[in-house]
Amino acid sequence: MKCISKGIASLMCGVLLLSCCLTGCKSNGYSMEYDLNNSVSAYRFNDGDSGNRAEAFAQDLCVINGDVSVNSVDTSEAEAALLCSINDKEVLYGKNANEKLDPASLTKVMTAIVALKNGNLDDVLTASENVEISESGASLVGIKAGDTMTLDQALHALLMPSGNDAAVMIAEYIAGSEEAFVKLMNEEAAALGATNCHFMNSHGLTAEDHYVTAYDMYLIFNEAIQYDEFVQIITASEYSGVYHNAAGEPKELSFKSTNQFINGNHAVPDGVMVIGGKTGTTNAAGNCLVLLSKDSAGNPYISVIMKCSKRDYLYDEMYDLINMVNN
């Protein structure tokens, strides 16, 4: 399924012009009306702050409104899966891509976007008592109230070992509270056209009304990789540094990536380079992974798998999914 090109129209002729834009890759139009409440993000448009302008949702992005090539790869252990060619703006594989699912720590990709957009890497963050999360199974890097670290260090702690405490620390620094930060997350998602997701926290621990689709995860991740620092972090296999406690005493920050392709615990298909990605795991979300990969010619791809039953299946099925770029 091909992409849709960018187009802007007034609301009076928005439907007509958007129909033309949406048929840029095919001669026949889509029958689905454009609706901000549509279950498929790709068929929405945002009228913006002025109330009298409409912008086509897909600005040179991939679009999917149904399953694509679902029999070509076995993703039977996953609820949803997606493979998109960034350069060709083509969906190579799609399964339940518009189904709303718990994203677990894939949430942190949006957290990173909002942080990078609103903060500076050298900013010094101070942790409140809210970083000391007691929920069973929560991934933590051990940040305590009064600890200080740079935003750059906090982003490494957020994305590599998936520190939920780092997420809270970032959220409170950027917006003053996690509630205010979540509002920024949802506003940014809407601005990206990711209109089938909704966030309730900055870390991805299970919460009611906290969800994302595989397609919206593609949109969010596609925005995140526009930031060099984000790509640098998700590429790294390990990290170490020094931060400080409330008394100014040094504390060691050291961890490895949770991404099995990056830390060397799972093979990568021949002819494919995995640049990096983000993992997510909770009982509600199952096992999730979003990746940036390149083929032997250097062409980039984004792949998403959500709600896989086991971690081993997640990486086996992602292996088969990204191996499609060799076909």
Catalytic residue positions, numbered: 105, 108, 162
What type of residue is 325?
V
Asked if 118 and 110 count as a contact pair (C-beta separation under 8 A), the reply is no
Copy the structure tokens of residue 65: 């409104």
Classify burial at 242, counting beta carbons within 10 Å of its beta carbon; exposed 0-12, middle 13-18, buried 19 or more. exposed
Residue 33: is it exposed, middle or buried by C-beta count within 10 angstroms (0-12/13-18/19+)?
exposed
Can you tell me the distance from the alpha carbon of 214 to that of 318, in angstroms, rounded to the nearest whole number? 14
| CB 73, CB 321: distance < 8 Å | yes
150 DSSP β-pair partners: 124
